[in-house]
Chain A
Amino acid sequence: MADKRMDPRNKSVFTTGEVAQVCKVSQQTVIRCFDSGRLKGFRVPGSRFRRIPRDALITFMKTNEIPLDQLESGKRRVLVVDDDEAIIEMFSELLQRDGRFEIRTATSGYQAGIMTEQFRPDILLLDFKLPDINGTNVCRTIRANPKFGHVKIIIISGVADPDEVQELMAAGADEFIRKPFDINDVISRVAELVNAA
């Protein structure tokens, strides 16, 4: 099994060699583009090594109509956020078994924020009651960042109070699923929201 960190799908900063591999062009071309400013990036302090952030790479590839296959797996990224390990495990197994999803997990609101930044999920399965930051705030923070405009959010909670549900929806959630739930129902709603093939 290849090192996950080497997988370009997981990397956030690329070398010029890696960019050449992802874009299927020569390293010289990449260096030329970097030096001319068409490919945004930075040099490693104290050396001349060029580094390209993932965002800049994606923008570059989109601008030059280079297919993003090498950068993306094709599987939809799901971030499961819940403070209950059993729930996390259950969701992980459920979604894994389906095969269409790539899954990451977080057990607190803070962790959910970091994972969103790193993993760039397509969808969040978010528990409403988290030990540190509640679901409404997580929702609101993600929605406040235009970078994550495309991220879908499903709140999954035992809360039944319609007022609270309404508040969650107003904070930017796309769906609300009551615990306990029908597994088929959850899978189909997730797939539907992220257009999983």
Chain B
Amino acid sequence: MAANTLSTPLAQPRKPFGWSRFLGRFLAYFILTLGLSFTLLPFVMMILSSFKTNLEVLRVPPTFWPENFTLENYLKIFNDPQLPLLRFYGNSAFVAVFNVTSTLFTSSLIGYMFAKFEFPGKKILFGWFLTMMMIPTQITMIPSYLILAKLGLINSLWGLVIFSAVDAFGIFMMRQFCETLPNELFDAARIDGAGEWQIYWRIVLPQLGAPLATLGILGFMFNWNAYLWPMIVLQKIEVRTLPIILTWFNSTHTGQGALVMAATVLIIMPILFVFLFFQRWIVQGFTMTGFK
């Protein structure tokens, strides 16, 4: 066997074209497309239902294509005075943008410091961070809520940002990247008289473009879709973020399936479009970081 292997020229094609190979390919595409349809169909159903009337979605058996294609549901949502959609988009955007900006700043700064500076207690501090990373939210949720209550920040969007300024995971990731940057870069700048903050701002940050973009997009998605913590903090309707508004809308419009589906489309679609634009960064980011 071994001798046989050695005498085989490396350039020889693996297998000649044949029916078994063709069948294998066909089967692979078949299974993948089956999985693909299973993934896509719920989205298709959602979009199609949103263009039906509320009576049509109740029909048994269900219709696939809308019988009377209507924009009524969307118009109803846009004209509902109880549902100032723009305001809710604004709430979600505020929380996401604020949290992402602050974590990008702190992660890059602290990650850079851990990677390139020596100071007493560095290892202990970093170990502490790693430990904090392991502590799940359900442990800290209750005291965090009590603190917000004491500070009077329940029902305030600021309550959603105050505990999110530092992200241990982001720091960890940025440290990994900063370690790959050459020290000569910083030394040269120091000789030229640059201050430490200037070095961070002018030299480190531009080098971190790619990982920052990844971290930023992922953080944005995470904040945009967050549900449990915003639900605890935001109890009044006006201050709520989109996912909580969606459940509230669902519970106040029972039996109006088409309307609820239209609201769902409006709330989940923006993020999917963002994904299609940035998908290279995002897929890369997920695999690079294992962040969820």
Q: Do A and B come from one complex?
A: no
Which residues of B line the A interface, CB within 8 A? Answer: none
Which residues of A line the B interface, CB within 8 A? Answer: none
